[in-house]
């Protein structure tokens, strides 16, 4: 996979999750302060109560963690593009300084780790879980994945993308799913 494929995968994911929303891959927006066209990897625009909501997504297919300078450049672009929210996605993670900078800024910005190669090995965004005659379609919350590996007492588990099941357990930030059929006798 290269950076172009990475952006296409991200755009496809959002288009699938939000089919009724205007989502543009490789968009162009006039910069308010720069007075020039700004290239945006993925632009999500919708209207809520007559007000335009603009979400800018930047996919960074880097071989190392995102550093504070990259986050600061992204914040500058968000301001120039008059975005209501920004989402910076990478497959390698973020330095502690980058995380601090993103979460200390007044602009609404999220950082996410998304590695499609690892995701395809044993995890996904949604799936069908079943036990006996009972089943359910489940979807992971944004930023989390569904791990369909069966473990003792667990049909499937949810945890943050970029973590292993063990790491999620150590941080005590995970959910699990079981199905129990309700019999007429119980």
Read off the pTM. Answer: 0.66
Name the average pLDDT for the chain: 84
Percent of the chain having pLDDT more than 70?
A: 89
Encode pLDDT of 29-57 as tens digits.
999 999 999 999 999 998 888 888 999 99
Mean pLDDT of 142-146: 76
Q: Domain range spanning residue 88?
A: 3-114
- Is 185 part of any domain? no
- Domain check: are 88 and 39 in the same one? yes
Residues 94 and 127 in one domain: no
Q: What is residue 122's predicted lDDT score, i.e. its pLDDT?
A: 43
Question: Is there a single domain that holds both residue 109 and residue 138?
Answer: no
Residues 95, 15 share a domain: yes
Q: What pLDDT is attached to residue 16?
A: 80
86 and 143 inside one domain: no
Percent of the chain, pLDDT > 90?
Answer: 31
pLDDT digits (tens, 9 = 90+) for 73-100: 999 999 999 999 999 988 888 888 998 9
Residue 104: name the closest of 56, 72, 143 by CA. 72
- Tell me how far apart the alpha carbons of residues 87 and 10 are, in angstroms, rounded to a whole number: 11
Paired with 23 in beta bridges are: 44
Contacts of 71 (CB under 8 A, 6+ apart): 88, 94, 98, 101, 102, 109, 111
- 164 confidence band (pLDDT: 50, 70, 90): confident
Give 41's contacts (C-beta < 8 A, 6+ positions apart).
7, 10, 11, 25, 26, 57, 58, 59
pLDDT grade, residue 115 (50/70/90)?
Answer: low
Number of domains in the chain: 2
Both 14 and 65 in one domain: the answer is: yes
pLDDT of residue 25: 95
């Amino acid at each position: 996979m290269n950076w172009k494929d990475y952006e296409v995968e991200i755009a496809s994911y959002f288009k699938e999750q939000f089919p009724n929303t205007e989502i543009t891959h490789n968009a162009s927006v006039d910069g308010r302060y720069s007075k020039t066209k700004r290239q945006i990897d993925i632009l999500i625009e919708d209207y809520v109560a007559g007000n335009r909501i603009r979400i800018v997504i930047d996919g960074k297919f880097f071989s190392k963690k995102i550093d504070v300078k990259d986050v600061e450049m992204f914040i500058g672009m968000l301001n120039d593009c008059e975005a209501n929210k920004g989402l910076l996605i990478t497959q390698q993670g973020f330095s502690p300084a980058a995380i601090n900078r993103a979460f200390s800024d007044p602009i609404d910005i999220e950082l996410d780790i998304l590695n499609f190669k690892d995701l395809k090995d044993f995890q996904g965004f949604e799936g069908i879980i079943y036990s006996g005659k009972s089943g359910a379609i489940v979807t992971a919350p944004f930023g989390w994945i569904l791990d369909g590996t069966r473990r003792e007492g667990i049909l499937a588990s949810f945890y943050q993308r970029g973590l292993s099941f063990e790491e999620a357990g150590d941080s005590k930030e995970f959910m699990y799913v079981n199905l129990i059929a309700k019999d007429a006798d119980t």
